[in-house]
Amino acid sequence: MEGFCLKFLAVALFAVCIMLKQTQGQLYGGRGCGEREIFKSCGSNCPRSCQSMGRPIQSPICSNQCIAGCFCEDRYVRGFDGRCVYPRDCFKQRV
């Protein structure tokens, strides 16, 4: 009976993990991310932004720690208004 309970518990835990992974994909993997954004399960905790352009990355704030979420696609940076923009458009937003 103990063996059965352990197997049942393992299968149930596995099923919960799969459901959480699917939910994560629904929230971030397309419908939950905005325009010009992609979901990354291991993104930078200091993504490129208009605010950080031209400034050195400060090591106390930025680390190699992964965070999951929506990030701007490779050619874009996070604009002052939160949308993903081309870096050259950062100056247009400031005016």
Structure confidence by residue, pLDDT tens digits, 66-81: 899 999 999 999 999 9
Domain membership of residue 36 (yes or no) is: yes
The answer to the question of residue 42 being in a domain is yes
**What value does the mean pLDDT of the chain take?**
74
pLDDT in the model for residue 10: 46
**Domain, as residue range, for 71:** 32-94
Residue 75 lies in a domain: yes
* Tokens coding 29: 């993997």
Task: Give the predicted TM-score (pTM) of the model.
Answer: 0.60
User: Is residue 47 domain-resident?
Assistant: yes
Strand 84-85, strand 77-78: pairing:
antiparallel
Please give the Cα distance from 81 to 90 (Å, whole number): 10
Total count of domains within the chain: 1
What CATH number is associated with residue 52?
2.10.25.10
Q: What is the pLDDT of residues 31-55, one digit of tens each?
A: 589 999 999 999 988 899 998 887 6
